[in-house]
Structure 1
Amino acid sequence: MSVWDEMYADEAYVYGTEPNAFLAQYAALLAGPVLSVAEGEGRNAVYLATQGLDVLGVDQSETGLAKARRLAAARGVRIRTEAADLAAYAPPPATFGSLVSIYAHMPSQIRKRLHHAAESALRPGGIVLLEAYRHEQLGRGTGGPDDPDMFMALADLEREFPHCDILLSREIERDVTEGVFHTGMACVVQLIARKRSEG
Protein backbone atom coordinates (compact mmCIF):
# COMPACT_ATOMS: atom_id res chain seq x y z
CA MET A 1 0.00 0.00 0.00
CA SER A 2 1.37 3.40 -0.99
CA VAL A 3 1.69 6.39 1.32
CA TRP A 4 -1.28 7.97 -0.45
CA ASP A 5 -3.41 4.82 -0.10
CA GLU A 6 -2.65 4.87 3.63
CA MET A 7 -3.51 8.55 3.88
CA TYR A 8 -6.81 8.09 2.07
CA ALA A 9 -7.76 4.87 3.88
CA ASP A 10 -9.62 6.76 6.60
CA GLU A 11 -13.31 7.33 6.01
CA ALA A 12 -12.85 11.08 6.47
CA TYR A 13 -11.81 13.21 3.48
CA VAL A 14 -8.38 14.48 4.49
CA TYR A 15 -8.53 17.49 2.12
CA GLY A 16 -12.24 18.02 2.65
CA THR A 17 -15.09 17.65 0.18
CA GLU A 18 -15.34 21.24 -1.06
CA PRO A 19 -13.40 22.44 -4.11
CA ASN A 20 -10.21 24.42 -4.09
CA ALA A 21 -11.17 28.11 -3.90
CA PHE A 22 -9.00 29.19 -6.85
CA LEU A 23 -10.53 26.47 -9.01
CA ALA A 24 -14.06 27.45 -8.03
CA GLN A 25 -13.35 31.12 -8.75
CA TYR A 26 -12.24 30.44 -12.32
CA ALA A 27 -14.18 27.27 -13.17
CA ALA A 28 -16.27 29.14 -15.73
CA LEU A 29 -13.17 29.36 -17.96
CA LEU A 30 -12.92 25.58 -18.22
CA ALA A 31 -14.24 23.42 -21.04
CA GLY A 32 -14.65 19.70 -21.04
CA PRO A 33 -13.46 17.12 -21.05
CA VAL A 34 -11.31 18.10 -18.07
CA LEU A 35 -8.15 16.21 -17.11
CA SER A 36 -7.57 16.61 -13.36
CA VAL A 37 -4.19 15.25 -12.28
CA ALA A 38 -3.40 14.11 -8.73
CA GLU A 39 -7.14 14.24 -8.08
CA GLY A 40 -6.98 12.31 -4.81
CA GLU A 41 -10.34 11.98 -3.08
CA GLY A 42 -12.29 13.79 -5.75
CA ARG A 43 -13.34 17.13 -4.29
CA ASN A 44 -12.33 19.12 -7.36
CA ALA A 45 -13.50 16.66 -10.00
CA VAL A 46 -16.86 16.30 -8.29
CA TYR A 47 -17.28 20.07 -8.09
CA LEU A 48 -16.56 20.42 -11.80
CA ALA A 49 -19.03 17.66 -12.57
CA THR A 50 -21.70 19.60 -10.65
CA GLN A 51 -20.94 22.47 -13.05
CA GLY A 52 -21.83 20.21 -15.97
CA LEU A 53 -18.31 19.28 -17.05
CA ASP A 54 -17.07 15.85 -18.11
CA VAL A 55 -14.11 15.14 -15.82
CA LEU A 56 -11.40 12.49 -15.75
CA GLY A 57 -9.66 12.36 -12.38
CA VAL A 58 -6.25 10.69 -12.48
CA ASP A 59 -4.35 9.67 -9.36
CA GLN A 60 -1.92 6.96 -8.29
CA SER A 61 -4.17 5.99 -5.37
CA GLU A 62 -7.10 3.74 -6.17
CA THR A 63 -8.15 4.19 -2.54
CA GLY A 64 -8.49 7.92 -3.10
CA LEU A 65 -10.31 7.46 -6.39
CA ALA A 66 -12.80 5.07 -4.80
CA LYS A 67 -13.64 7.84 -2.34
CA ALA A 68 -13.93 10.23 -5.27
CA ARG A 69 -16.53 8.02 -6.90
CA ARG A 70 -18.44 7.76 -3.61
CA LEU A 71 -18.43 11.55 -3.26
CA ALA A 72 -19.69 11.91 -6.82
CA ALA A 73 -22.52 9.49 -6.15
CA ALA A 74 -23.43 11.37 -2.97
CA ARG A 75 -23.58 14.63 -4.96
CA GLY A 76 -25.64 13.07 -7.74
CA VAL A 77 -23.01 13.35 -10.48
CA ARG A 78 -20.67 11.03 -12.34
CA ILE A 79 -16.93 11.36 -12.87
CA ARG A 80 -14.43 9.19 -14.68
CA THR A 81 -11.36 8.00 -12.81
CA GLU A 82 -8.08 6.41 -13.79
CA ALA A 83 -5.43 5.02 -11.44
CA ALA A 84 -2.03 5.75 -12.93
CA ASP A 85 1.57 6.43 -12.00
CA LEU A 86 1.95 10.11 -12.87
CA ALA A 87 5.67 9.56 -13.46
CA ALA A 88 4.74 7.58 -16.57
CA TYR A 89 1.21 8.79 -17.35
CA ALA A 90 0.62 9.59 -21.03
CA PRO A 91 -2.85 11.00 -21.76
CA PRO A 92 -4.02 10.85 -25.37
CA PRO A 93 -3.00 13.90 -27.42
CA ALA A 94 -5.38 16.72 -28.36
CA THR A 95 -8.20 15.21 -26.29
CA PHE A 96 -8.98 17.53 -23.38
CA GLY A 97 -10.53 20.96 -23.14
CA SER A 98 -8.87 21.73 -19.82
CA LEU A 99 -6.11 20.61 -17.48
CA VAL A 100 -6.57 21.07 -13.73
CA SER A 101 -3.63 20.66 -11.36
CA ILE A 102 -4.31 21.50 -7.70
CA TYR A 103 -1.41 20.89 -5.29
CA ALA A 104 -0.01 18.18 -7.56
CA HIS A 105 3.41 18.16 -5.93
CA MET A 106 5.98 15.69 -7.21
CA PRO A 107 9.71 15.69 -7.97
CA SER A 108 10.51 18.40 -10.52
CA GLN A 109 11.69 16.04 -13.24
CA ILE A 110 8.46 14.04 -13.01
CA ARG A 111 6.42 17.24 -12.96
CA LYS A 112 8.14 18.59 -16.09
CA ARG A 113 7.47 15.35 -17.97
CA LEU A 114 3.85 15.31 -16.83
CA HIS A 115 3.28 18.95 -17.80
CA HIS A 116 4.71 18.29 -21.25
CA ALA A 117 2.43 15.28 -21.70
CA ALA A 118 -0.58 17.15 -20.32
CA GLU A 119 -0.02 20.15 -22.58
CA SER A 120 0.10 17.80 -25.56
CA ALA A 121 -3.19 16.29 -24.37
CA LEU A 122 -4.94 19.67 -24.60
CA ARG A 123 -6.89 20.69 -27.66
CA PRO A 124 -6.07 24.07 -29.21
CA GLY A 125 -7.68 26.69 -26.99
CA GLY A 126 -7.57 24.36 -23.99
CA ILE A 127 -7.11 25.88 -20.54
CA VAL A 128 -4.50 25.06 -17.90
CA LEU A 129 -5.52 25.92 -14.33
CA LEU A 130 -2.95 25.26 -11.62
CA GLU A 131 -2.43 26.15 -7.98
CA ALA A 132 0.46 24.88 -5.89
CA TYR A 133 2.68 25.77 -2.98
CA ARG A 134 5.83 27.74 -3.81
CA HIS A 135 9.26 27.58 -2.22
CA GLU A 136 8.49 30.20 0.43
CA GLN A 137 5.97 27.78 1.93
CA LEU A 138 8.70 25.44 3.19
CA GLY A 139 8.68 25.24 6.99
CA ARG A 140 5.46 27.20 7.51
CA GLY A 141 3.56 24.17 8.74
CA THR A 142 0.30 25.01 6.94
CA GLY A 143 0.59 22.51 4.10
CA GLY A 144 2.78 21.30 1.31
CA PRO A 145 5.68 18.89 0.86
CA ASP A 146 8.86 18.70 2.91
CA ASP A 147 11.06 18.32 -0.17
CA PRO A 148 12.15 21.69 -1.68
CA ASP A 149 12.34 20.06 -5.13
CA MET A 150 8.57 19.55 -5.10
CA PHE A 151 7.61 23.21 -4.78
CA MET A 152 6.73 25.26 -7.86
CA ALA A 153 7.76 28.66 -9.19
CA LEU A 154 6.10 30.79 -11.86
CA ALA A 155 9.16 31.02 -14.07
CA ASP A 156 9.45 27.23 -14.17
CA LEU A 157 5.76 26.70 -14.83
CA GLU A 158 5.66 29.17 -17.68
CA ARG A 159 8.54 27.28 -19.33
CA GLU A 160 6.76 23.96 -18.77
CA PHE A 161 3.77 25.05 -20.88
CA PRO A 162 5.62 26.55 -23.87
CA HIS A 163 2.69 26.29 -26.27
CA CYS A 164 0.35 28.25 -24.01
CA ASP A 165 -0.41 31.95 -23.63
CA ILE A 166 -0.47 33.07 -20.02
CA LEU A 167 -3.79 34.53 -18.86
CA LEU A 168 -3.04 34.76 -15.13
CA SER A 169 0.29 34.24 -13.42
CA ARG A 170 0.96 35.21 -9.81
CA GLU A 171 2.59 34.31 -6.53
CA ILE A 172 0.47 35.29 -3.55
CA GLU A 173 -0.14 34.53 0.10
CA ARG A 174 -3.65 33.38 0.92
CA ASP A 175 -5.60 31.44 3.51
CA VAL A 176 -5.89 27.83 2.35
CA THR A 177 -8.26 25.85 4.55
CA GLU A 178 -8.95 22.54 2.84
CA GLY A 179 -9.12 19.59 5.19
CA VAL A 180 -6.61 18.72 7.88
CA PHE A 181 -3.44 19.04 5.76
CA HIS A 182 -4.06 22.47 4.21
CA THR A 183 -4.76 24.78 7.13
CA GLY A 184 -3.85 28.45 7.24
CA MET A 185 -1.96 31.22 5.49
CA ALA A 186 0.16 29.83 2.69
CA CYS A 187 2.49 30.92 -0.10
CA VAL A 188 1.04 29.73 -3.40
CA VAL A 189 1.55 30.06 -7.11
CA GLN A 190 -1.47 30.38 -9.42
CA LEU A 191 -1.44 29.93 -13.18
CA ILE A 192 -4.08 30.04 -15.90
CA ALA A 193 -2.98 29.59 -19.50
CA ARG A 194 -4.54 28.84 -22.90
CA LYS A 195 -3.02 26.54 -25.49
CA ARG A 196 -2.31 28.32 -28.74
CA SER A 197 -3.97 27.06 -31.90
CA GLU A 198 -0.62 26.51 -33.56
CA GLY A 199 0.71 24.70 -30.45
Structure 2
Amino acid sequence: MWDERFGTSEYIYGIEPNNFLVSVASKIPQGKILCLAEGEGRNGTYLASLGYEVVAVDQSSVGLAKAQKLAQEKQVAIATIQSDLADFVIAPQSWDGIISIFCHLPSELRTKVYRLAVMGLKPNGVFVLEAFAPEQLQYNTGGPKNLDMLPSLATLQQELADLHWEIAREVKRDLLEGRYHNGTAAVIQILGRKQS
Protein backbone atom coordinates (compact mmCIF):
# COMPACT_ATOMS: atom_id res chain seq x y z
CA MET A 1 0.00 0.00 0.00
CA TRP A 2 2.74 2.49 0.93
CA ASP A 3 4.80 1.83 -2.22
CA GLU A 4 1.66 2.59 -4.20
CA ARG A 5 0.86 5.73 -2.20
CA PHE A 6 4.41 7.08 -2.50
CA GLY A 7 4.64 6.09 -6.18
CA THR A 8 4.14 9.57 -7.60
CA SER A 9 6.49 12.47 -8.22
CA GLU A 10 4.44 14.51 -5.75
CA TYR A 11 5.55 14.46 -2.10
CA ILE A 12 2.17 13.42 -0.75
CA TYR A 13 2.84 14.72 2.78
CA GLY A 14 4.77 17.73 1.49
CA ILE A 15 8.46 18.54 1.85
CA GLU A 16 8.20 20.81 4.90
CA PRO A 17 8.91 19.27 8.31
CA ASN A 18 6.17 18.60 10.83
CA ASN A 19 5.35 21.78 12.80
CA PHE A 20 5.51 20.11 16.20
CA LEU A 21 8.92 18.62 15.44
CA VAL A 22 10.19 22.05 14.39
CA SER A 23 8.88 23.56 17.64
CA VAL A 24 10.81 21.07 19.82
CA ALA A 25 13.93 20.43 17.72
CA SER A 26 16.09 22.61 19.99
CA LYS A 27 15.31 20.23 22.88
CA ILE A 28 16.85 17.23 21.11
CA PRO A 29 20.50 16.63 22.07
CA GLN A 30 22.92 16.81 19.14
CA GLY A 31 23.91 13.40 17.85
CA LYS A 32 22.21 10.36 16.32
CA ILE A 33 18.52 10.48 15.43
CA LEU A 34 16.26 7.58 14.43
CA CYS A 35 13.15 8.52 12.45
CA LEU A 36 10.48 5.80 12.56
CA ALA A 37 8.19 5.31 9.53
CA GLU A 38 9.94 8.25 7.87
CA GLY A 39 8.30 7.85 4.46
CA GLU A 40 9.37 10.53 1.99
CA GLY A 41 11.95 12.11 4.27
CA ARG A 42 10.63 15.56 5.19
CA ASN A 43 11.44 15.26 8.90
CA GLY A 44 14.75 13.43 8.62
CA THR A 45 15.98 15.89 5.99
CA TYR A 46 15.05 18.79 8.25
CA LEU A 47 16.91 17.29 11.21
CA ALA A 48 19.96 16.60 9.03
CA SER A 49 19.94 20.29 8.05
CA LEU A 50 20.33 21.10 11.77
CA GLY A 51 23.43 18.93 12.01
CA TYR A 52 21.95 15.69 13.33
CA GLU A 53 23.15 12.29 12.11
CA VAL A 54 19.86 10.87 10.81
CA VAL A 55 18.83 7.28 10.16
CA ALA A 56 15.39 6.97 8.56
CA VAL A 57 13.59 3.64 8.63
CA ASP A 58 10.49 2.79 6.60
CA GLN A 59 8.97 -0.30 5.00
CA SER A 60 8.61 1.43 1.62
CA SER A 61 11.63 1.49 -0.68
CA VAL A 62 9.70 3.94 -2.89
CA GLY A 63 9.27 6.39 0.00
CA LEU A 64 12.91 6.08 1.02
CA ALA A 65 14.12 6.70 -2.54
CA LYS A 66 12.16 9.97 -2.44
CA ALA A 67 13.69 10.71 0.97
CA GLN A 68 17.18 10.37 -0.49
CA LYS A 69 16.21 12.58 -3.43
CA LEU A 70 14.87 15.25 -1.07
CA ALA A 71 18.03 15.09 1.05
CA GLN A 72 20.18 15.57 -2.05
CA GLU A 73 18.08 18.55 -3.13
CA LYS A 74 18.49 20.06 0.35
CA GLN A 75 22.24 19.23 0.24
CA VAL A 76 22.21 17.09 3.36
CA ALA A 77 22.92 13.40 4.00
CA ILE A 78 20.61 10.89 5.66
CA ALA A 79 20.93 7.13 5.98
CA THR A 80 17.90 5.06 5.02
CA ILE A 81 16.98 1.52 6.04
CA GLN A 82 14.10 -0.38 4.43
CA SER A 83 12.49 -2.50 7.14
CA ASP A 84 9.14 -3.32 8.60
CA LEU A 85 9.13 -2.03 12.18
CA ALA A 86 8.08 -5.51 13.29
CA ASP A 87 11.56 -6.70 12.24
CA PHE A 88 13.69 -3.61 12.89
CA VAL A 89 16.12 -3.85 15.80
CA ILE A 90 16.52 -0.70 17.92
CA ALA A 91 19.83 -1.20 19.70
CA PRO A 92 19.83 -0.23 23.40
CA GLN A 93 21.24 3.17 24.44
CA SER A 94 22.15 4.09 20.85
CA TRP A 95 20.11 7.18 20.00
CA ASP A 96 20.05 10.80 21.13
CA GLY A 97 16.57 11.18 19.69
CA ILE A 98 13.86 8.91 18.30
CA ILE A 99 11.16 10.56 16.19
CA SER A 100 7.68 9.12 15.65
CA ILE A 101 5.60 11.49 13.50
CA PHE A 102 2.28 9.99 12.41
CA CYS A 103 3.71 6.47 12.78
CA HIS A 104 0.49 4.51 13.33
CA LEU A 105 0.90 0.85 14.22
CA PRO A 106 -1.42 -1.88 15.51
CA SER A 107 -1.41 -1.72 19.31
CA GLU A 108 0.52 -4.96 19.85
CA LEU A 109 3.34 -3.87 17.53
CA ARG A 110 3.30 -0.28 18.80
CA THR A 111 3.76 -1.45 22.39
CA LYS A 112 6.79 -3.51 21.36
CA VAL A 113 8.36 -0.79 19.19
CA TYR A 114 7.91 1.95 21.80
CA ARG A 115 9.32 -0.24 24.59
CA LEU A 116 12.40 -0.83 22.44
CA ALA A 117 12.54 2.87 21.57
CA VAL A 118 12.72 3.87 25.24
CA MET A 119 15.49 1.32 25.77
CA GLY A 120 17.20 2.58 22.62
CA LEU A 121 17.58 6.14 23.89
CA LYS A 122 20.82 7.24 25.49
CA PRO A 123 20.54 8.97 28.89
CA ASN A 124 19.08 12.47 28.29
CA GLY A 125 17.84 11.32 24.87
CA VAL A 126 14.35 12.35 23.79
CA PHE A 127 11.37 10.67 22.18
CA VAL A 128 9.28 13.02 20.02
CA LEU A 129 5.82 11.95 18.89
CA GLU A 130 2.90 13.48 17.08
CA ALA A 131 0.06 11.11 16.25
CA PHE A 132 -3.64 11.23 15.63
CA ALA A 133 -5.82 10.85 18.73
CA PRO A 134 -8.89 8.60 18.91
CA GLU A 135 -11.05 11.68 18.39
CA GLN A 136 -9.52 11.99 14.90
CA LEU A 137 -12.14 9.47 13.72
CA GLN A 138 -14.60 12.41 13.75
CA TYR A 139 -12.51 14.23 11.13
CA ASN A 140 -11.71 13.37 7.54
CA THR A 141 -8.28 15.00 7.56
CA GLY A 142 -5.91 12.02 7.68
CA GLY A 143 -4.89 8.98 9.64
CA PRO A 144 -6.09 5.41 10.02
CA LYS A 145 -9.77 4.60 10.49
CA ASN A 146 -8.94 1.79 12.92
CA LEU A 147 -9.27 2.75 16.61
CA ASP A 148 -6.63 0.17 17.55
CA MET A 149 -4.07 2.33 15.70
CA LEU A 150 -5.18 5.55 17.45
CA PRO A 151 -3.93 5.35 21.06
CA SER A 152 -5.05 7.77 23.74
CA LEU A 153 -2.59 10.03 25.52
CA ALA A 154 -2.97 7.88 28.66
CA THR A 155 -2.14 4.73 26.68
CA LEU A 156 0.96 6.30 25.15
CA GLN A 157 2.13 7.56 28.53
CA GLN A 158 1.78 4.00 29.84
CA GLU A 159 3.69 2.53 26.89
CA LEU A 160 6.44 5.14 27.30
CA ALA A 161 6.29 5.14 31.10
CA ASP A 162 10.05 5.29 31.74
CA LEU A 163 10.33 8.76 30.19
CA HIS A 164 10.12 12.13 31.93
CA TRP A 165 7.35 14.18 30.30
CA GLU A 166 8.31 17.64 29.10
CA ILE A 167 5.28 17.75 26.79
CA ALA A 168 2.29 15.39 26.89
CA ARG A 169 -0.94 16.81 25.51
CA GLU A 170 -3.88 16.26 23.23
CA VAL A 171 -4.74 19.23 21.02
CA LYS A 172 -6.81 20.18 18.01
CA ARG A 173 -4.78 21.88 15.31
CA ASP A 174 -4.84 22.64 11.62
CA LEU A 175 -2.60 20.42 9.52
CA LEU A 176 -1.21 21.46 6.16
CA GLU A 177 1.02 18.51 5.28
CA GLY A 178 0.45 17.61 1.68
CA ARG A 179 -2.55 15.85 0.24
CA TYR A 180 -3.26 13.40 3.08
CA HIS A 181 -2.93 15.56 6.23
CA ASN A 182 -5.03 18.60 5.53
CA GLY A 183 -7.43 20.43 7.84
CA THR A 184 -8.45 20.40 11.49
CA ALA A 185 -7.18 17.33 13.32
CA ALA A 186 -7.12 15.86 16.83
CA VAL A 187 -3.52 14.99 17.68
CA ILE A 188 -1.35 13.90 20.58
CA GLN A 189 2.01 15.58 21.06
CA ILE A 190 4.70 14.11 23.29
CA LEU A 191 8.25 14.97 24.18
CA GLY A 192 9.66 12.55 26.73
CA ARG A 193 13.24 12.54 28.01
CA LYS A 194 15.15 9.54 29.28
CA GLN A 195 16.63 10.30 32.66
CA SER A 196 20.36 9.74 33.10
Q: TM-score, normalised by structure 2?
A: 0.97
The runs of 5 or more residues in structure 2 that have no matched partner are none
Equivalent in the alignment of 1:7: 5
The alignment partner of 2:43 has SS state of helix
Equivalent in the alignment of 2:119: 120
The alignment partner of 1:118 has SS state of helix
The runs of 5 or more residues in structure 1 that have no matched partner are none
Equivalent in the alignment of 2:14: 16
Shift of 1:118: 1.1
RMSD across aligned positions (CA): 0.8
Shift of 1:189: 0.4
The alignment partner of 1:46 has SS state of helix
* Equivalent position amino acid for 2:20 in 1: F
Equivalent in the alignment of 1:70: 69
- C-alpha separation in 2, matches of 1:154 and 1:141: 20
The alignment partner of 2:24 has SS state of helix
Shift of 1:24: 0.5
- Please list, as runs of the form range in 1=range in 2, the aligned pairs for 1:71-150 lying within 5 A after superposition: 71-150=70-149
Shift of 1:162: 2.2
- Please list, as runs of the form range in 1=range in 2, the aligned pairs for 1:33-52 lying within 5 A after superposition: 33-52=32-51
Equivalent in the alignment of 1:167: 166
Matched, 1:187 2:186: yes
- C-alpha separation in 1, matches of 2:22 and 2:15: 13
Equivalent in the alignment of 1:178: 177
Q: TM-score, normalised by structure 1?
A: 0.96
The alignment partner of 2:26 has SS state of helix
Shift of 1:84: 0.8
* Equivalent position amino acid for 1:115 in 2: Y
The alignment partner of 1:115 has SS state of helix
